Amino acid sequence: MIEHHVLSSGDSQLDLRVALADSGPTSSNVLLLLHGLPRAVGMGRLAAGLLPQMAENLANESGWRVATATLSGVGSSTGTFSASRWLADLTCVVGAVAPSEGRLALAGFGFGGALALRHGVTDDRVRAIATLATPAHLDRWAGSPDDLYHSVIAAGVVADPAELEPAGVLYDGVLGIDPLGAIADFAPRRLIIIHGSDDADVPASDARDLLSSADGRAEIRFINGAGHQLRADPRMVATLLGWLDRQR
């Protein structure tokens, strides 16, 4: 069963889905799934398309409540992307789903994993984070300021071009998320780094760099032969379920 909510975050209206187990008692624990920043043409509307189904499957298998939200400019959510806007969106979503009792865990794909780490540093309610194909070096991942600016426009995460930050400001905001610094500060809370061994977009060495920055205080799992798109890989789902089960 999936509940549907709409949250206000600044001038944006965010789409939030919360999946509950179809049968049996539901745990007080909550997992929040976060999409990444789409870079391909037109992907802004589709970037989080598989996450509600994944949330429902994870809820049924784990007993956790599993939430997923689309941040500003993605899916049916209104607004325009910036790193600061997405951090504010994430704060709003966490406030809506964080349990009064039980554990709150975040699992972020790509840039969403970096965003989860940055938020988690300042939010003691977040007890665990899973990064999935998350870049450690955002300067390499983003390319030049102009590259990032034009890819954001092409992806369609811009409601109004007048709202989009200038290229340099947009770029500096993304780099300021600093996943290497954030993971160092988040440890020793529970961490798992999941990465495809054949990821052509974010090299597997980024996963190792995240682990090193956490001073080894994280689990790391490589999905053999997997590329960047881990959402459809059942081995990733099984790995994530095992990690959740160890937190009961």
Per-residue pLDDT of the chain (248 residues; tens, 9 = 90+): 888 999 999 999 999 999 998 876 567 899 999 999 988 776 777 777 778 889 999 999 999 999 999 999 998 899 999 999 999 999 999 999 998 888 999 999 999 999 999 999 999 999 999 999 999 999 999 999 999 999 999 998 998 888 999 999 999 999 999 999 999 999 889 999 999 999 999 999 999 999 999 999 999 999 999 888 888 789 999 999 999 998 86
Assign domain 2-245 to its CATH architecture: 3-Layer(aba) Sandwich (3.40)
- Prediction pTM value: 0.95
Distance from C-alpha of 200 to C-alpha of 223, rounded to nearest angstrom:
13
DSSP-assigned beta bridge partners for residue 108: 34, 131
Distance from C-alpha of 139 to C-alpha of 149, rounded to nearest angstrom:
13
Q: Can you give the residue ranges of every domain in the chain?
A: 2-245
Reported for 142-147, long-range contacts at CB under 8 A and 24+ positions apart, including other chains, are: 142/171, 142/174, 142/175, 144/171, 145/170, 145/171
Identify the pLDDT of residue 124: 94
